[in-house]
Amino acid sequence: MGITVNYYLDGTTFSNATKIYTDVDLTTLAPNGWYSFGGKYRHQTGGFLLGESVCPACDEACSPNPTGAGEGSFQFTSNTPGVYYMKVSTGTGVGLIRPFIQLLNNDFMGIQIIHNATIYNNWVNDEGYKSPGNSNPIWLGDATASPPAAGTVYTNQPTFTWSGTAWVQGGNIGYTVNSTTNYNATFATNNWCGNINKNSNTLPLQDVDITIFVPPSVPGGVNFRFTLTCPQLLPAIPFNATRFANAVDACNAVGTSDSVFFGGADNQTNITLTQIQVNGFVYTNQFASSGSPIAGYYKINDITANGYMQVDANGVVIAVGTCPP
């Protein structure tokens, strides 16, 4: 948080001033550093003010669709490595928020998502569940593109903050690729779907902070789209909450009077969440906040009617099928 104090200009406006002072008589120069006024900022160094720039916006609006362009959707097409920061406002809605990455082919990057002081780093793609299993950023991508090894150290990397219309470059930092990596074993469509649960619409819980690490070793730069969807309450899908050891016993279960909630799979291009698919998370409430069914087989009655699903220990659907009539 910034501190507001009184400073004095040698010009009539912040835009045409050449120096900033700490006293009304303009005798004591303000310390070197960054100063802002009216949504603009300037850097004073060596006693002189440098050019004026627009301050980065506090946040970006979320996206209604996981694969759409526009608000809440960022196309990364760049040869510039660095660390990219963005803040997305999810508004007053509650429910599941879906981070979605499209076409991370021949590319790799790290990503850290924080909401309500919680790091979310559980993802699914064509190969299933991926997570570092700790509070580190997760590194995603294609193993055929020679991604950095765990423990790789990068120094003096530029930072960029999303202003609402453009990336604003800041200072440089260093970082280390964390010890657990989750690259795809083979080239694939390489869409990735994450999950964030939001069960309160109070103002402090509306923002999601995203950091994307693009290392200097990416061959030819990167080209992928990152989208953060707006919160959505998940529709209930009838199922039988009794867990079974196999599909046959699940299919023989009587009735589907309980409810399960599906958070979407990595290959879904919309948020019609009434059909359970492989490589998607399932939950026990509409906010996606109360955990998942215990690993096992369950009878379901989604739009395909009279089927079963297998859930793994991570709450990811790893098999679906149709029960005999």
pLDDT in tens, 136-181: 889 888 777 778 888 999 999 999 888 877 888 888 999 999 877 7
Per-residue pLDDT tens for 61-118?
Answer: 888 877 777 788 888 876 688 899 998 988 888 999 989 888 777 788 899 999 988 8
pLDDT at 185 > cutoff 90: no
b/e map 23-38, b = 16+ CB within 10 Å: eeeeeebbeeeebebe
Q: Determine contact, residues 106/228, Cβ cutoff 8 Å.
A: no
Tokens of 270: 């919309």
State what percent of residues in the chain have pLDDT above 70: 89
- Mean pLDDT to the nearest integer, 217-223: 73
User: Mean of the pLDDT values across residues 127-132?
Assistant: 86
DSSP line for 252-289: T-----EEEEEEEETT-SS--TTS--SSEEEESSTTS-
Backbone angles phi, psi at 43, to 5 degrees: -110, 120
Q: Quick: pLDDT tens for 45-70.
A: 888 898 877 655 556 888 887 777 77
Note whether 187 and 106 are within 8 A (CB). yes
Residue spans of the domains in the chain: they are 8-54, 60-228, 236-322
Q: Which residues contact 66 (CB under 8 A, 6 or more apart)?
A: 98, 100, 193, 227, 229, 264, 268, 269, 270, 271
End-to-end CA distance of the chain: 63
pLDDT band at 306 (very low <50, low <70, confident <90, very high): confident
- Give me the mean pLDDT over the 20-42 stretch: 81
pLDDT, averaged across the chain: 84
pLDDT, tens only, 231-265:
989 999 999 999 999 999 999 999 999 999 998 87
Which residues make Cβ contacts (< 8 Å) with residue 227, sequence separation at least 6? 63, 65, 66, 67, 68, 72, 73, 74, 99, 100, 101, 102
